[in-house]
Structure 1
Amino acid sequence: MGAEIRVEGLAKSFGRQVVWRDVSLTLPAGEISVLLGPSGTGKSVFLKTLVGLLKPDRGSVSVAGRDITRLREHELYDVRRMFGVMFQDGALFGSMSLFDNIAFPVREHTHKSEAEIRRMVMEKVDMVGLLGAEEKLPGEISGGMRKRAGLARALMMDPQIVLCDEPDSGLDPVRVAYISQLIVDLNARTGATFLIVTHDIASARTVPDNIGLLFRRELVLFGPREQLLTSDEAVVRQFLDGRTEGPIGMAEEKDAALVEEELARLTDASSEVRTPPPRLLPGPGITRPPRWEEIARRQAPSPAHQEADA
């Protein structure tokens, strides 16, 4: 089962460059959360902070009730074993077969026999749909297959928390849809807590239980999927709609007067009732944990939306 992560008052800077000032959120155990934001807002830095690779200037990160900012190195190692990480580029060793790449964490951190390692690898290879490709080299397979291999490796230690850094980058829309469905299926099968950093709005609309948005060194919003997808916050609407009018500019921030002028031209559009698209469900034959029913009730359309649809 997944573990809860509670972040309180997190701040991080590199010299004079402030990444974020005061980030607080809770990633519910066993749920899928997505973190959005323009480039350069510190999403990848946030992932590294969660696993203790970077230390925040202020604030706390509690993983299953343990504040990792206060742990010694050997204690931090124990907490890190709760995590599996899927890197943006797959981070596969080019000279190793997919089998050896996926087996790497278990060989490195345990004393299991090769027979047990083979059983574990083949189980994970089957889960991500790569049976028959395990002896291929990373250079011999497609980008989508490399992503799935990276996800299989992230699952090898049966983590309670899975972090996915841009799992859909560099993929065409069809492969993005496959990866999105795979993540939903794996979440249902394992019960692990998933946090996904992505720029893909289509995935963000349909995959997660919760969504957060980073902008201007702050967490603009974090909560249930439908809360962000129906938000009237200017930066949220601009990011989700992919338009140039709004607070986000090429250099991230715009002149305040220009933003007001642009937003004034969008007042009619902002009054529309927005209904989030249906959330992806696990595929056939995959049993949904009981928490899914709770989430479905929590994300049911509000009376206002139901009246508008009528």
Structure 2
Amino acid sequence: MGIEVTVEGLTKSFGRQTVWEDVTLTLPPGEVTVLLGPSGTGKTVFLKSVIGLLKPERGRVLVDGVDMVNSPEREIYRARRLFGLMFQDGALFGSLNLFDNIAFPLREHTRKKEDEIRRIVMERMEMVGLVGSEAKLPGEISGGMRKRAGLARALVLDPQIVLCDEPDSGLDPVRTSYLSQLLIDLNAQIDATMLIVTHNLDIAATVPDNIGMLFRRELVAFGPREDLLRSEQPVVRQFLSGRRAGPIGMSEEKDQELQDQETVPVEEVRPLPAQLQPSPGLPPRRALQRRLEVAR
């Protein structure tokens, strides 16, 4: 079962530039959360702060009793092993084949024997549909395959929390659709808490249980997928519709005077997209069952 992640009052700056401040949210155990926001709002910085790779100036990130911001480094290192991190570009070693890339964390951080490593790697490669490609180098495969290899590597240490940094970047709509289903299928199989940073509206509409949005150096929205997709907040509506009219500008936010001059078109009411379900033959997602039990 995944682990709850509690973020309290998190503030991060680089010099005089505040990236975001006073971010507070909870990632429920085993649920999938998508983090949205215009470019430059610090989504990847937030991901790295959650796992303890960057140090915010204020706030806490509580994971299994460890504060990833303020605890001693040895405790943070221990808690970090609960995470699997899928980097935006896959971050594969170009000189290693896919098998050795995926096996790397096991060889680096465990004392498992090679036959056990082979079993685990092949299980994860089967999960992401890469069986048969073990000997290929990253430069010999497509961007979508590199993404899946990066995801397999993030899973080999059996993480209870999986962080994905723009897993759809560089993928065409068809491959993005396959990736969306893969993320849901993985959640059904391993029941990990998942946080996905993305710009992709199809992923945001169909994959997560929860959606958050960063804008103007703060978390402007966070809640269940259904609530955010129906939100009347101007910034959320503009981002989800892709319209020019609204508080988001070409570079950063627009000033209020410019916003007041805009005519916001009347939007037609669109049906709420259904959330993706696990592929046939896979178990139901336990996070949804837990949510239903809490609602009772």
Short-chain TM bin: over 0.9
Partner residue of 1:282? Answer: 278
Structure 2 length-normalised TM: 0.96
The answer on whether the counterparts of 2:246 and 2:264 sit within 8 Å (CA) in structure 1 is no
From 260, 263, 266, the equivalent of 2:264 is 266
Q: Distance in 2 between matches of 1:206 and 1:163?
A: 18
Gaps of 5+ in 1: 300-310
Whichever residue aligns with residue 233 of structure 2, its letter is: E
Q: Distance in 2 between matches of 1:267 and 1:250?
A: 19
Partner residue of 1:111? Answer: 111
SS of corresponding position for 1:249: coil
- Cα deviation 1:242-284 (Å, max 9, x = unaligned): 111110111211120111222xx22633xx5454200000001
Structure 1 length-normalised TM: 0.92
Aligned-residue Cα RMSD (Å) equals 1.5
Q: Distance in 2 between matches of 1:291 and 1:203?
A: 18
Partner residue of 1:62? Answer: 62
- Cα deviation 1:201-227 (Å, max 9, x = unaligned): 011100000000000001010110011
Q: Distance in 2 between matches of 1:65 and 1:290?
A: 23
After superposition, residues 1-310 of structure 1 pair within 5 angstroms as 1-262=1-262, 265-266=263-264, 268-269=266-267, 272-295=268-291
Whichever residue aligns with residue 33 of structure 1, its letter is: T
Gaps of 5+ in 2: none
The answer on whether the counterparts of 2:66 and 2:75 sit within 8 Å (CA) in structure 1 is no
Q: In structure 2, do the counterparts of structure 1 residues 235 and 10 end up closer, same or farther at CA, with 3 Å as the change threshold?
A: same
SS of corresponding position for 1:248: coil
The answer on whether the counterparts of 2:67 and 2:76 sit within 8 Å (CA) in structure 1 is no
- Runs of 4+ off more than 4 Å: 294-299
Q: Distance in 2 between matches of 1:143 and 1:296?
A: 37
Give the aligned length: 295
Q: Distance in 2 between matches of 1:277 and 1:141?
A: 33
Q: Distance in 2 between matches of 1:291 and 1:48?
A: 24
Q: Distance in 2 between matches of 1:106 and 1:3?
A: 21
